[in-house]
Chains A and B, each alone.
Chain A
């Protein structure tokens, strides 16, 4: 039995599906961020696996993942700062209760 490309794509696909489900159903802003991380991570796996299996001499997928990880770190840090600030003002982080900006 050999490890083929498909065997790495299937867990990544399931991870992405879980991320979509969590993103659509969760109420808590931090939980939504966690689902977003799941989706980003599955895309990173796809980049790396495609790079390694289809174009082993080139490095595009690896560098793309490297930059995507840095982007994800920056985005998460900023989003969590915003969430903590919202909590400081409104004392809650659930999106269905935060309606102050609604017209």
Chain B
């Protein structure tokens, strides 16, 4: 049996996710769209905290909400006049997008509600997960170690930095 606070938190988070994701893609002012995306990302971080992955929630807030959304806001303010609406989407395109999205959601939802027998699972007890354990796993080379992806992603970030400098350099 779940505690009442947890249930209320879940419903608030689910409502925020649903409403703000719809608003993100339907609002015509792009800065508002970025703001709604920020709310969605915060709600996602709360889900991670609810799942007891505290480190992941912190990473989500620091990288997504603190880094990516700020980048978006910078890019929007550099390329748009504030307060100006985007051009109206033609209705044929909108219908096409809505049909594609609804079709995908309907197929996945049907599969979820009818076939999946794992959907009724309860939250099981999880062994204590501290930062030291995560760090050891990230840098170990045995069966559940993640040293190779860790190094690969460092090389990728280096490539990203160099690429950013090369692209943004004034010729």
Q: Which A residues are closer than 8 A to B by beta carbons?
A: 1-28, 30-31, 33-35, 37-38, 41, 44-45, 48-49, 52-54, 56-59, 62-63, 65-67, 69-74, 76-78, 80-85, 87, 93-94
Instruction: Specify which chain A residues have a CB less than 8 angstroms from the CB of B40 in the assembled complex.
Output: 15, 38, 41
Q: Given A11-B17, A19-B21, A21-B97, answer yes or no on A2-B2 (Cβ-Cβ < 8 Å).
A: yes
| Interface secondary structure of B, over-half rule | helix
Please count the residue pairs between chain A and chain B whose beta carbons lie under 8 angstroms apart in the complex.
224
Closest 7 CB pairs of A and B: A22-B25, A24-B97, A25-B97, A6-B119, A21-B101, A17-B105, A18-B21
Give the contact-size bracket for chain B: 35 or more
Q: Given A41-B64, A82-B167, A83-B79, answer yes or no on A25-B41 (Cβ-Cβ < 8 Å).
A: no
Residue of B25, B60, B68, B80 contacting most chain A CB atoms (<10 Å) = B25
Instruction: Specify which chain A residues have a CB less than 8 angstroms from the CB of B7 in the assembled complex.
Output: 1, 3
- Bits for B43-76, please: 1 = Cβ < 8 Å to A, else 0: 0100110011100100110011001100110111
